[in-house]
């Protein structure tokens, strides 16, 4: 019998009121549905039914090294980054020594894990990701009359310009903003984060596209529906666009304030019905199954999670996820779109 998972539901203010409940075939409840967590992280454990009743996934498979999510973005997320493993270990120990409880609002390090992320778009998905080449940002600033920003870029360079924008509490919102920043400017007028956003890459993913974010990558999700896979971590360093705790010291200590293009992880078209994402440096693996007919799959790893996001997949319906242990089998049918995730046992 297939072990169907019940995800932890996260109702954050930036969530969408319709996308996730509609995907799951559940009634809308006038709450913003932001994320569904299919994992064992203590801040949002998934559950499943056993012969003895409902229990947390952790009680069946132990602690998973990865966390699978569905995410629906209706309003922009915070300008943020995530730590490396060394930064997480040091930060978690430091905040413990300071006596900060894990649930205190000014706690930054919730666990001891790094947080690389793979985002796979299910709809058009817009985001800010990494910093554009400084010559492009300078030309754009001069063309649009963002004179103070251009002056700082010329004299101070990218990193110091970002620090200036965020360290000063208020800046006049520039005129001639690009369309993708109108919502941010409306929600957070006079925020220095708007100036930082003007220096970043605006990325628009089509359904099926994917992007991999290494620790240290500065980003903000703007809109869209996606599957997201990461290490089992909730370590977030926020710098702007949020009512949550902002810690600029930790943000600057962990952020890569250099020009970098985001790393595409979209599988090539020629990969066929079974496509694995190019994330060899990550401690987890993700496969996309575009099923057109019936198939029997056997788990090849200690724990695997399967998530159906489109169609009827036999044992799984749209919006359902299940867990398999090594050598257990799953019968799937098409047409359907299923994501398969497992962790690297060495991490």
For the segment 272-298, the average pLDDT, to the nearest whole number, is 88
Q: Which residue has the higher pLDDT, 113 or 268?
A: 113
What phi, psi does 305 have (nearest 5°)? -115, 135
Q: Does the domain made of 269-343 have the CATH classification 3.10.20.90?
A: no
Q: Which residues contact 127 (CB under 8 A, 6 or more apart)?
A: 119, 202, 203, 205, 211, 219, 220, 221, 222, 224
Per-residue DSSP letter, 15: B
Domain with CATH 2.60.120.10 in the chain: 269-343
Question: CB atoms < 10 A from the CB of 26, how many?
Answer: 12
**Which whole number is the average pLDDT over 1-11?**
89
| Structure token pair of residue 119 | 């985002």
The pLDDT of residue 263 is 87
Among 59-63, 167-171, 228-232, the minimum mean pLDDT is found in 167-171
SS3 content of the chain, % helix, strand, coil (to 5): 25, 35, 40
Which residue in this structure is represented by tokens 């952020």?
255
Q: What is the pLDDT of residues 287-335, one digit of tens each?
A: 999 988 888 999 999 999 999 999 887 889 898 999 999 999 998 888 9
pLDDT for 233 beyond 60: yes
In this structure, are strands 3-6 and 47-50 parallel, antiparallel, or unpaired?
Answer: antiparallel
* pLDDT value of position 314: 82
Q: What is the pLDDT of residues 23-63, one digit of tens each?
A: 999 999 999 999 999 999 999 999 998 888 899 999 999 99
How many whole angstroms separate alpha carbon 330 and alpha carbon 305?
A: 11
Fold adopted by 76-266: Jelly Rolls (2.60.120)
| pLDDT tier at 346, thresholds 50, 70, 90 | very low
Percent of the chain with pLDDT over 70: 98
Q: Whole-model pTM?
A: 0.94
**Residue 339: closest CA among 8, 109, 23:** 23
Q: How confident is the model at residue 262 (pLDDT cuts 50, 70, 90)?
A: confident
**Residue 140: how many CA atoms within 13 Å on its side-chain side?**
17
What is the spatial distance between Cα 323 and Cα 346, in angstroms, rounded to a whole number?
20
Give every CB contact of residue 79 below 8 A, 6+ residues apart in sequence: 128, 193, 196, 197, 218, 219, 220, 238, 239, 240, 241, 242
């Amino acid at each position: 019998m297939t072990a169907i998972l019940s995800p932890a539901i996260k109702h954050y203010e930036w969530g969408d009121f319709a996308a996730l409940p509609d995907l799951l075939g559940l009634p809308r409840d006038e709450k913003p549905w932001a994320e569904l967590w299919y994992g064992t992280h203590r801040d949002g454990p998934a559950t499943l039914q056993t012969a003895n009743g409902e229990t947390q996934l952790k009680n069946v498979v132990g602690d998973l090294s990865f966390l699978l999510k569905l995410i629906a973005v209706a309003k922009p997320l915070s300008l943020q980054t995530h730590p490396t493993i060394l930064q997480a270990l040091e930060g978690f120990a430091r905040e413990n020594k300071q006596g900060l409880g894990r649930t205190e609002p000014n706690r930054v390090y919730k666990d001891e894990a790094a947080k690389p992320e793979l985002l796979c778009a299910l709809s058009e998905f817009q985001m800010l990701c990494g910093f554009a080449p400084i010559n492009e940002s300078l030309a754009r600033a001069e063309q649009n009359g963002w004179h103070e920003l251009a002056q700082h870029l010329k004299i101070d360079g990218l990193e110091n310009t970002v620090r200036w924008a965020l360290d000063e509490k208020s800046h006049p919102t520039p005129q001639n903003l690009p369309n993708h920043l109108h919502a941010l400017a409306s929600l957070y007028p006079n925020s220095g984060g708007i100036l930082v956003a003007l220096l970043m890459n605006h990325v628009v993913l089509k359904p099926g596209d994917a992007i991999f974010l290494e620790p240290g990558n500065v980003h903000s999700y703007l809109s869209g529906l996606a599957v997201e896979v990461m290490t089992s971590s909730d370590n977030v360093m926020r710098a702007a666009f949020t009512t949550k705790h902002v810690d600029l010291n930790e943000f600057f200590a962990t952020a890569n304030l250099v020009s970098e293009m985001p790393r595409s992880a979209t599988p090539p078209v020629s990969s066929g019905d079974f496509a694995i994402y190019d994330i060899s440096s990550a401690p987890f693996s993700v496969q996309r199954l575009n099923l057109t007919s019936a198939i029997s799959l056997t788990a090849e790893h200690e724990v695997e999670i399967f998530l159906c996001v489109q169609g009827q997949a036999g044992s799984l319906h749209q919006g359902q996820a299940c867990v398999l242990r090594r050598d257990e089998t799953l019968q799937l049918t098409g047409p359907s779109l299923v994501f398969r995730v497992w962790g690297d046992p060495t991490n």
